[in-house]
Structure 1
Amino acid sequence: MEFYNIMPWGVIKDDEPPSNTNHTTNQANQEAKEADKTNEKDVITPAFGLLNIVDDLIEEKEDEAEDEKNLDTSEKSLRMIIDEDEDKPLDWTAEPENPFREPTPQPPTTTVRPINETTTKQHVRTYKGSIPLLDYLCEIKNCSLKELHVLFHNLEVRRELIENLQQNVQIRTSHLKPSCKNFNVYCHDLTAQSASNVLAMGGYLGITVRGYYYVKHKLKLCHPYLPCLIQFGGGHHRSFYPLECLSVIRHKMKGGCS
């Protein structure tokens, strides 16, 4: 009789497969890269070329200082005036061209004279010695200001007006304050272009007559589309005067509109 040894039955676990070394290596490399990125965020690297940028800025500052030294005194003063007015809107640039506004009449001057030292009475006295040049031109041509603007394009009419201003009246500036600073001028010719296009001071500063009167005299021209009066000076010097800044002396007139 045979006897068999009965062994207890059970499940035997298989041996674990060898770990994937490649997967472990890749995971380690990935963790190392993430650590490097974290370290890079904390490290501040200097910007390349920073010294060159600083040198360029210093050089520009030196060039600007050198240019300021070479500026003419008159140009410096005009630039200072323009810089002061940069924040102020130059409303004259927004005006429509050729508004054709009639010249506003000058208010009559009044004098107060005491009567019996107790009451006062106003006596209006109008100075008839001078009138605005534009009023005079409209008067001799019997036209409106708009029509006068058109007549300036007629060469024959221009020549007639120039001869009249040379022979029959004395022309004087009227824009300076106080009035005693105004002076006499002579009409040699009229410009073909308007005050908005004629360059003042021979074009030295690149500013028009219209802009020059605004910056220099704080005067906004009401009729910048009209030509300017030309007065010749010594050599090739020419002075330009807007027509609305001039007046004529009546007692110098000869007949006609006296």
Structure 2
Amino acid sequence: MGPSGSGKTTLLKCLSKQNKKTLNNESKIYMKSGKYKTCFIVQDISEHILSSLTVRQTLLYASKLKNSLIKETLDHNLIVDSLMTELGIDDIRHNSVDTCSGGQQKRIVIACELTSHIKPDLMLIDEPTSGLDSSAAQVIISHMKQLCHKHQITIITSIHQPNYELFNMFDNIYVLGKCGHDLYLGQPQHLKQYLTDLNISYDDNQLPHEVLLKIASDVNHNDFKTLQFYFVRHLYSVLILEIFAYILFSVIIKLNFKQEITEPDGCRDPSAPIDSCNIYFNNSSR
């Protein structure tokens, strides 16, 4: 979350490996070990849908194309019907895509990405609520949360200026200031206390996230550097605590599981002469 020019879209492109030009040699992105599958959905979705097709036809073609290399037999109708139900577009299945609302079209594009038999581990969606009213925006975020839990997918999305209800629907918020400065990372419910701890005052009729966005849009604001400094200090504190917890956990494991290793029956004492034991050979392995 952040004002225009804070680098939200650029960050999403970097995470999806689509933009490496803005990364310098010192830039590092840490992910869990192993391969992971990502998909990136741009803000302008007009190029991702064919207006001459219905919603159901769009998803059927997407399923067949994305799974064309899958050897096992898939029920594409079942895949499409399930996704339409999950994303709340089942009632418009026979409607032409170009007659759907903006919020419905965004959900159709998300459904197209999820028709793949191997679901993405990470979905990056650039401003899915852009151009939508507050009700349509809440619907799409609600469906995205359900997808996260059902398919075990991590969804990272950018958002410009949400209202209070929409802001609190997110699990975690990362706020960028002008020129990409880090200002806040945490749960939406903790933002009010965060500002209070920094002695950032505001009127009772102002919402915490609106105050933060106002500060984020002005690098010359008195509280901008305060937020930036506290963010870095907070990250170092969390890192130190995690390292300490890891060391403490390792020590506890060693103390609890430390035991004498006894020689099981049937094993030969290495110091005994070789004649004191029988040696068997497998004919097939000679």
TM over 0.5: no
Higher relative contact order structure (alpha carbons within 8 Å, sequence separation ≥ 6)? 2
Give the TM-score normalised by structure 2: 0.19
Give the TM-score normalised by structure 1: 0.21
**Which structure shows the higher helix fraction?**
2
Q: Which has the larger Rg? A: 1
**Which structure shows the higher strand fraction?**
1
